Structure 1
């Protein structure tokens, strides 16, 4: 009885919707997350079949299909409407429960994609209307630095802008991969055509496939006749950010697009010729991704016709002061201030710091300090919240010397690591938790434990 109570508590407190029907298709379980996704109360659905409370779902429901066909459906994209007429987009995995060769129930696990889909569509609309809106974009002049390796990569990118070949940009988080990508697009013949960036890590592959290739009515539940981003970007460029986040099947499908120059919308028998340049980015070494199976080798070779390797900031320390001064001037304009210098001792500490978050981390550090200073003309150490920059010990795992308990030593070490990674990620909780490989809830507990703001 106790284990059943624990399981019930767990299911009701996870983010995914859980919907269970019996062998007749009647709902026997419907958790809190499912209530939020579909805008219904469990009292309205228990004991009823799906099509009794959701519009046009008699033939399209994967729950009904799983019961009828004894078949598992994994990561299926569905569009449908609730009783209020609100459109819902979800990605569902549905499995039949079979005992003695008979289907006794079906379980559906649903991820709500409604807001993600809507936000991505709005973002893509903004990008497509970039020219009309006269939105600022990056160009080669925005790439700051005198480092020879960086200059070589910039020169390679300049030559890449004159062709239509695929480009793969590798660089650690925060090195400026999109700055390079935009510079290549806006520095070439496609500059007057759309530039559409897509964060592959933020969009599940099933939804991303529909967004890229487009759909025809009836191709899946609730599908509409809708052009994909390849058609919308025709003549322009699509940036696939963190392309290794795509499922292998989608990498294979994109490989065919790169080779053949046409697409087939989901559910369609017709092909559509396209002229779209692909620029892709990776924040992990391609060779390691291939070895681990996260990146198809054939897809990598087709993407990396031209490969750009952006050096991390720690390998171009001669550029740190110049970049810091650029951000000082930038935030002077944004914040209406008149700070003229960064203290020499601060610059010296900057040069000794590893900058795991690269240029993005440096930018965040300068922005935070600029918000703290009210008077004076020099940005000195006192205005910087990230004290790890000025304490080289935080950059190394020091040996325990026995002057404090091992427990306190480990707590101090954990606190320093959290502060460093938090600063690197612009104090973004989700990204920091992901890098530390812990849950958001666990990270929030530790932030409170160590009084980290």
Structure 2
């Protein structure tokens, strides 16, 4: 009796261990019995199919999932035929109609010559399939042109002119700018202004895709290369004859950067698992949202890749460094949302305008657009955007300013003349310090910026500002 109890405890412990192992593995596992009902459904399979165990366990698999016309369940097929299949791609729908794509290994469990269960081990490629579909972007999604780039500041006008010159060639372009400055707008404008405008424009944010998928996405795969490999063209093949935009390219790991460099140098691409190279004619436009000099020093981007990409380099200044552009942009956004919302906002109040100019805009033009859109949602009968329509952070800033003004009335008056004199003196000192640093470093902007403790872009702005 005692041995039976011990054996039962050991069996329970082993079953618990098996259940835990099933939930720890990074593949989906789905098992049905000889009646087609689910008896095992692990945690990863729940994630892949966006379902709970209670939705599937003890239920007929064909009543839970649906399949496209002329397609069938690989699990049921194995249960009825007893045949093992490997690396089969299957697209189907869960109980609420969500599309799922997996690569399946399916095999039967046979006891005494009878099929008792069918087991499926699945790898999720839903995200890869969706990304491939989304990235076949022809002209329908390439809507921006230079006419839509708004900015009156001297710094911004220079960038626009340089970008227009880049439309005449097929050289690689590197666009440097903070998040929200409009890097893709420039990329699309260059494409649409070039001889490649009728060819594909394919865009991919490199930071948005897991490293495990990025190589397949860039270069494509050949069927049979590995278990879940299918014949699939990569981004280079999709963009052949046109332009490939690689956003946040610095997020690629070192090995992928090396492979990308090879494609750029040889103008050929080899799918994963293939033995043959294919010629591709693709113009590369890459973007980064940090100072490239910092990334090179920190080994986050290869020097040789950087030099290959930066044949033409465009530095887009942040909005805080071209505040003269705030009102033209604001007018454009008001017109845009007047049309969308069927409103008739005319302008921005003087007090609200002052707050817009005082803000540093860490989110740049994108933040400004969202601010105007949000403000217009709060307008009821007024014909202009006022302070109380702006987000809380602006209203708090305004209250803080009023409190300070009130307190200043009780304080000794500040001599404006001396205040202005101090500001002029500080600017003179800054200008002299920058001039001396540049001279000591033979006008090497990267090295001078490093010594000054500012970005290369910031130094270039100050050189223009002080006319050095």
Asked if these proteins are the same fold (TM beyond 0.5), I'd say yes
Unaligned runs of 5+ in 2: 1-15, 28-39, 58-73, 95-99, 105-120, 405-468
Give the corresponding residue for 1:155: 161
Shift of 1:83: 11
| Residue 357 (structure 1) aligned with residue 363 (structure 2) | yes
SS at match of 2:188: helix
* 2:356 corresponds to 1:345: no
Does residue 214 (structure 1) correspond to residue 233 (structure 2)? The answer is no
| Aligned equivalents of 2:348, 2:246: Cα separation in 1 | 37
- Contact kept in structure 2, 1:365 and 1:386, CA below 8 Å: no
Q: Distance in 1 between matches of 2:225 and 2:211?
A: 16
What are the superposed Cα offsets for residues 348-384 of structure 1, whole Å, 9 maximum, x if unpaired? 1111110000000000000011111121211111112
Specify every segment of 5 or more residues in structure 1 that has no aligned partner in the other structure, as ranges: 1-7, 22-28, 45-50, 61-77, 91-109, 399-453
Structure-to-structure mapping, 1:25-424, within 5 angstroms: 32-37=43-48, 81=90, 87-88=101-102, 114-125=125-136, 127-128=137-138, 130=139, 134-135=140-141, 137-388=143-394, 391=397
CA change 1:120–1:52 in 2 (3 A) is closer
Relative distance call for 1:33 and 1:152 in structure 2 (3 A) is same
1:404 matched residue in structure 2: none
CA distance in 2, matches of 1:157, 1:111: 47
Moved over 4 A (4+): 38-44, 51-60, 78-86, 110-113, 392-395
How far, CA to CA, are the matches of 2:185 and 2:325 in structure 1? 16
Q: Counterparts of 2:26 and 2:176 in 1: how far apart (Å)?
A: 44
Rg larger in 1 or in 2? 2
Judged with a 3 Å threshold, the aligned counterparts in structure 2 of structure 1 residues 115 and 216 are, in CA distance, closer, same or farther, namely: closer
Deviation at 1:394, TM superposition (A): 8.6
Compute the displacement of 1:37 (Å).
2.3
Alpha-carbon spacing, 1:37–1:136, altered in 2? closer, same or farther (3 Å): closer
> Would the aligned equivalents of 1:17 and 1:37 in 2 still touch at CA under 8 Å?
no
* 1:141, distance to aligned residue in structure 2 (A): 1.1
Offset at residue 116 of structure 1 (A): 2.4
Residue 121 of structure 1, CA deviation: 2.2
Structure 2 vs 1, CA of residues 372 and 263 (structure 1 numbering), >3 Å: closer, same or farther?
Answer: same
Deviations 1:63-108 (CA, angstroms, capped at 9, x unpaired): xxxxxxxxxxxxxxx9855999963269xxxxxxxxxxxxxxxxxx
Give the Cα–Cα distance (whole angstroms) in 2 for the partners of residues 40 and 200 of structure 1: 32
CA gap 1:282/1:84 in 2 versus in 1, 3 angstroms: closer
Moved more, 345-354 or 379-388: 379-388
Q: With structure 2 as the length reference, what TM-score do the two structures score? A: 0.63
Show CA shifts across 1:270-306 (max 9, x none). Answer: 1100100000000111122222232112111111111
Cα deviation code 1:166-211 (max 9, x no counterpart): 0010100100000010011001111010101101111123312212
Distance 1:57 1:230 in 2: 38
Alignment partners' CA distance in 2, 1:281 and 1:363: 21
- Name the CA distance, whole Å, in 2 between partners of 1:284 and 1:394: 32
Distance 1:276 1:136, change over 3 A: closer
Compute the displacement of 1:393 (Å): 9.2
Q: How far 1:17 moved relative to its partner?
A: 6.8
TM-score, normalized by length of structure 1?
Answer: 0.65
